[in-house]
């Protein structure tokens, strides 16, 4: 049995991960805005929520994120850029996970394997960008990838058995993507969760700081 802290367990992928982990007999603690008034974009909220734990987790998984925010949609061209959209996307997709990572080390084992993973997106890859557009979302996920990579380097010094990675779950049929899937191949949240668990189960310290897709293949930065 593993002890798992799942940030964002009320979203599509997060809820499916919660179900899958529990079905395997694991001890899952979930945190979400909907269920716990947990605001990943507010440091006091993150600090208070994580400070209440006096145990270490085998896995800390950040399943939060958003393609849209209250006031923004993915941009198709430079003319659609707005300062507020960038700020909202970075708050949700980059700053929020960074705040969790800031307060996470005290919840990680130092003497045995422990995993920290964050949901990213292939569109955050600069090298893989062939279509352009979606400026604020792409940039926020690219920032998240850099944050994860840097955190992995730091954690390896204090937690030598830790693995810290960014994961692309594929295109998942959720409320997040329903307007944008079109004819693009997509999987259910349950299938995405099973794919993610397979990737997590195959990780070792040699993988820390890297970016993987749902099949365990490395994605270029």
Strand 27-31's sheet: what is its strand order? 27-31, 3-7, 59-62, 114-119, 162-167, 211-212
**Span 3-212 CATH architecture:** 3-Layer(aba) Sandwich (3.40)
Q: Helices then strands (H, E): number in the chain?
A: 7, 6
List pLDDT tens digits, range 156-215: 999 999 999 999 999 898 766 666 666 667 889 999 999 999 999 999 999 999 999 999
| Domain extent listing, the chain | 3-212
Q: Which residues does the chain have with pLDDT short of 50? A: none
The CA-atom distances, in angstroms, between 93 and each of 111, 153, 220 are 30, 20, 19
DSSP structural state of residue 93: I
């Amino acid at each position: 049995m593993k002890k798992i802290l799942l940030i964002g367990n009320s979203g599509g992928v997060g809820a499916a991960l919660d179900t899958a982990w529990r079905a395997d007999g694991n001890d899952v603690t979930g945190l979400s805005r909907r269920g716990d008034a947990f605001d990943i974009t507010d440091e006091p909220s993150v600090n208070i929520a994580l400070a209440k734990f006096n145990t270490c987790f085998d896995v800390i998984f950040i399943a939060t994120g958003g393609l849209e925010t209250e006031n923004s949609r993915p941009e198709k061209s430079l003319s659609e850029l707005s300062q507020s959209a960038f700020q909202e996307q970075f708050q949700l997709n980059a700053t929020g996970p960074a705040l969790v990572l800031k307060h996470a080390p005290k919840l990680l084992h130092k003497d045995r394997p422990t995993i920290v993973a964050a949901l990213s997106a292939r569109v955050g890859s600069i090298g893989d960008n062939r279509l352009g557009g979606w400026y604020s979302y792409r940039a926020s996920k690219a920032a998240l990838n850099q944050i994860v990579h840097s955190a992995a380097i730091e954690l390896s010094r204090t937690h030598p058995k830790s693995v810290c990675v960014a994961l692309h779950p594929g295109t998942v049929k959720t409320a997040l993507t329903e307007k944008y899937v079109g004819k693009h191949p997509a999987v259910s949240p349950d299938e995405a969760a099973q794919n993610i668990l397979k990737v997590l189960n195959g990780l070792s310290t040699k993988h820390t700081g890297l970016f993987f897709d749902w099949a365990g293949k490395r994605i270029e930065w």
